[in-house]
Amino acid sequence: MRRRILLLACVAFIVSPFANADSQISPHAPKAFARRNVGGAAAKANLKPHLIKSDPIDLEYARGMVSPPLAHSRGGACDSDAVLFSKIAVGVVLEAAALFGVVLGGKALSSLPELAKFPQIDGLHVVQWASLVIVIFASSLIGSFIDGGLSAASNQVLDPNATPGDPNWYRGLKRPSWEPPGWVFPIMWLIVSKPTQLWAVSRLFKVVDIDAAFLFRALLVYCTHLSLGDSWNKVFFGFQCPGKGAIVISTFWALLATSAFLFWSIDEKAGHLMLPTCAWVSIATALNWSIYINN
């Protein structure tokens, strides 16, 4: 038990600087959102009537710029539902496949004779541990190579008070009184959720009497849930769309619960180790829906 705790603590300490470096870069808000802000700023300007009448082009420009500002916006500018969710689906499938490939690659490499000299830690080859750490702690980095942009996931884990896009957008939303304080987020993700997930997944590879297809199915569902979590950060914080984000995080929660059940079917303790993450994501899901309803 002491070796497991020490291993998880070391992993969290090693990974945190790299995740913090990733959190320094945030995706830009959509162009449509920028145009809306420009239009709102121009609407506040005093346009002189004689200048508008003198040039028909100025008149058309003025009509577009002086449209009534939104009284209270729900968020930024998103694609249409069909387009956005199509992009999400493609990104989730590709990222999940990449994560699953890293897991299987680590397992395959650990069985090579050339790597037999590397040590085992708590019953698993060090290469296999490395692949699990990459998948669980750095899934957003893999997702960034898939969609060509940097995910907001690491930023939300390590710096929850900084949001990509409009920095004042999240602060201006009506949030429930029970919203957890900002300092709770890095504690829950880096010290509680991620290490317990690592422990849970590692236990799956130590089960001897198990059908390989069932194990791979559980791991594939788990990798898909990770990619959905990264997509939610992009939709909610990057595109600033709470409504669509609520749908994504609800799907994310459903796959997380399915992963916990499949893990429990293989190893009861592995399923129990997923419960802290299930509880935390339940709070995040309720928070997202509350923000959407109240804004």
Domain count across the chain = 2
Residue 169 DSSP one-character state: T
132 and 45 in a common domain: no
Q: What is the pLDDT of residues 16-54, one digit of tens each?
A: 444 433 333 233 333 333 333 334 444 444 444 444 444
**Cα distance between residue 275 and residue 43, in whole Å:** 50
157-205 pLDDT, tens digit each: 444 444 455 668 888 999 999 999 989 988 998 899 999 999 999 999 9
| pTM beyond 0.85 | no
Residue 205: CB atoms within 10 A of its CB come to 20
Tell me, rounded to whole angstroms, the distance of Cα 180 from its chain centroid.
18
| pLDDT confidence of residue 8 | 52
| Average per-residue pLDDT for the chain | 76
Whichever domain contains 234, its CATH number is 1.20.1260.100
Instruction: Identify the domain containing residue 224 by its residue range.
Output: 2-29+79-294
CA geometry: angle 190, 164, 10, nearest 5 deg? 15
Both 10 and 51 in one domain: the answer is no
CA distance 153 to 231: 9
Residue 75's pLDDT is what? 53
What CA–CA distance (Å, rounded) separates 290 from 54?
50
> If 0-12 CB within 10 Å is exposed, 13-18 middle and 19+ buried, where does residue 77 land?
middle
Rounded Cα gap, residues 12 and 285, in angstroms: 25
115-159 confidence digits (pLDDT tens): 878 888 988 999 999 999 999 998 888 877 776 654 454 444 444
- Whether 269 and 249 share a structural domain: yes
CA nearest neighbour of 153 among 105, 199, 194: 194
Tokens, residue 209: 């009497």
Q: Which two tokens stand for residue 138?
A: 């750095």
| In a shared domain, residues 39 and 96 | no
Give pLDDT, residue 276: 96
What band does 3 get if pLDDT is binned at 50, 70 and 90? low
Token digits of residue 231: 């997509």
On the question of pLDDT at 270 being above 80, the answer is yes
Q: Are 204 and 270 in contact, with CB atoms under 8 Å apart?
A: yes
**pLDDT for position 70:** 43
Confidence (pLDDT) at 7: 52
- Token pair, residue 43, equals 């609407």
Report the SS3 class of residue 47: coil
Read off the pLDDT of residues 193-212 as tens digits, 9 standing for 90 and up: 999 999 999 999 988 767 78
- 151 shares its domain with 47: no
